[in-house]
Structure 1
Amino acid sequence: MTPEDRFPGPEPHHSGRHPHQDLDVLPYGSYYEPNPPADYPGSPGEPQDRPTGTDATYSGYGGARYLEQHWPVTGHSTPTQSIFQAPGPSAAMQREDPPTIELGPPISEDDLRPAPQLPPVGEPGPVGPLYVVGDVHGYLDELLAALHQQGLVDAEGHWSAGRARVWFLGDFTDRGPDGIGVIDLVMQLAAEAAAAGGYCRALMGNHELLFLGAHRYGDEPVQSTAGTASFRAAWLLNGGQQHDLDRLQGHHISWLKRLPAIALEDDHLLLHSDTTAYLEFGDSIAAVNDAVHNLLSDEGADEWWDAFRRFTKRFAFRGPGGPMAAGELLATYGGHRVVHGHSPIPYLTGEATADTGEPPYVPGPYIYADELAVAMDGGVTMEGRLLVARLPVD
């Protein structure tokens, strides 16, 4: 059964069979699960009424084994309702898992600011609506369809949203069929949006670090917790596509290396990864972004690898300690809610570990951690959805 069968309506058509490799792993297939920090719940030295070292909010690369140990799975029925209709009393929407949020309405004509109405260049104008885009992973056709459905691009794939603002949350390449095509599209939309008085911007994901590392360092050995590894080996293991590397050009590299790692927009803290590792790079948004840019400009393979390892950690906002972790980031960098990609929603809800044989049900963004976090990776690589949503989602 295809996603079109599960989700009737204006669904993106799929550009190829989606592989079921959806969580990042280290070379040789081992999962990186570091010991949690001493001040996290469940760590050694914490009160003994908590299971020692089993806190589900702290994990490196995850994987089905870790999820099965720490995240119980309940049964799910197969919904038949279109995700573009109002939610009904289906069994899937009544399960104990925290609910996902339906995608917001497409951009309306009132939100669009046609060019003739724009103020002169250099003068401030009205601010358009804010959208975020989850992990794309090379699925260009799905991305174009999702952007078009929200009114952000026209039928030819050109910016049509006037003063609207769009943030991509990273992970443009790997696993899917056309990562370079995705990068080219985002760069194109950035120029077209600026000309229309809006903007289209992007964050750096862990796969951008991996892709750039594979290009720059190739098979050069790096020190990994799994033993001696290389960027190229890790990139191939995590869905690297040789045709993307073959088409990578200098302007792609320059653009990718300048992407910020973190941003604050309309009181939303935008990140790629659901991890607190950002705190290890600085105590302000500017400091984090400067640290990452300096690393990519000056440091060697081992330093790049360490940054990739840190930004590939996941699940910090899940479980009993999740609100505390999200609150720590918000207290440091500002905002009232974290919005992230990286960890597919079916893993956060537990549905990915339910052996139903059906594609996961992802109606929209997933609000969790006492409503302090919003997940935007709809699991396009596992036959889920490529999510584009207007903020705020509630």
Structure 2
Amino acid sequence: MSWTNVTVGDAFDFVRNGKSIKQSKEVDGLPITRIETIADRIVDPARVGYAGLNEAGNEQWLLRNGDILFSHINSVDHIGKCAIYEGVPEKLLHGMNLLALRPGRLLHPKFAYYALSHDRFRARLLPFVNKAVNQASVSTTNLKTLEIPLPHLAEQKRIAAILDKADQLRQKRRQAIALLDSLTQSIFLEMFGDPVSNPKGWQWSKLGEIGNLDRGVSKHRPRNDPRLLGGAHPLIQTGDVSNSSGYIRAFRSTYSDLGLSQSKMWPAGTLCITIAANIASTGILTFPACFPDSVVGFSSSRPGMSQYVRVWMSFLKKTLETIAPAVAQKNINLAILRELDIPLPSAESLRKFNLAMDQLAIEQEKSRLQKQNSGVLFASLQHRAFSGQL
């Protein structure tokens, strides 16, 4: 059965920006969408703004079930991100810097959402993206000219139902990983108590006294060319640490330099701590690597200490972000890290904690593989769906 292609401007009743008004995070009136409301490709009621607005006089800005929010002003990587409004929160106003697209009568909302989320649509969108410093945008006029496939309504509903099931599987895998990640702090609290109040009376020490802390080398920069003299060495950057979920198992960049000595390489088992950008993110190296001076390496002769410090620092992250001075970006220094007070549990307690963390890491890896497989399945189904093969 043949499909037709229609422009976004024809398929949707309207494509428009939201109400322009200064927002705050203080709960006052109806919630209003912000760019971060759809950061995770869902409408997140915890990431909204407020401006003391009521329904009266703002009816035109109230979202309806099936409306699609589309990010048209963002970094290039996030341009085109979208989410479908499905009634949560119950009443939600459409704010500036996200477009709202209301599907027409011949367009099933969930099918429209998956069509706009597909790689093919993004490939058509990218040539129209206007790039600027730290931000990019696409105009409503250009967006309306792009085409999406339009099978008959019954076929749209069938395809959307199949993709919904595959997407639900992805969401479950993601939730399972989040649950396992939250168990890390729970295990710590159960075994050692609160790391700030130290209710179990563990001995206090300074972080700089229980191990070695040192920054990476400032000249480390991505080269990604193994043909350079000296060979290619794994280069761990702040993003690799922030996205590591505790263990750094992969890298995106390499560093090549004839004079790169082993003294500049950190061994597997080193705890990496970010001191700029996403402050106090941590990850344990699973392979030897080097890193720039925005990352600090921690190592200790005491068995199991890196794992303990990794989880301990997760409780201090917000505090460190608060005290970090902001210049071009927030950062902390070695002196701050070395002077942090840390409670020291017994060697036996550390041994039991590390065993628990090792077991948890195995379950986390299993869940991540399952998430990866469910993502591959979804991508395959989505490709087949919009190629008319599903």
TM-score by length of 2: 0.23
Flag the structure with higher helix content: 2
TM-score by length of 1: 0.22
Larger radius of gyration: 2
**Greater relative contact order (Cα < 8 A, sep 6+):** 1
